[in-house]
Amino acid sequence: MSAIFNKTINGRQFNFQPIEFGTTTGYHVDVMDDESTRCEFSILHADENDAKKMKIEGTSVPGWIMDLQATLIKVINEQE
């Protein structure tokens, strides 16, 4: 797993921090929305046998973040 990193996507800075819960690994991600409210969620590895399969986890994740799921996962895969 890589170190903390950030990436600007669609004019917003996404901050990625590696996390590990037992055998589940992924990233805690935070980003500011248009109203300067911090949105926090996780992107977790969804398959222990395939590190590229990931999914967004979190409560009340805004639609604009869900729309970027494939892009966010691609950024993580490029970083790892």
State residue 75's pLDDT score. 96
State residue 37's pLDDT score. 94
The phi, psi pair for 46, rounded to 5°, reads: -95, -10
State residue 34's pLDDT score. 94
pLDDT-derived band at 57 (thresholds 50, 70, 90) equals: very high
Q: Could you tell me the two tokens for 11?
A: 């004019």
For the segment 23-52, the average pLDDT, to the nearest whole number, is 90
| Contact partners, residue 22, CB within 8 Å, separation at least 6 | none
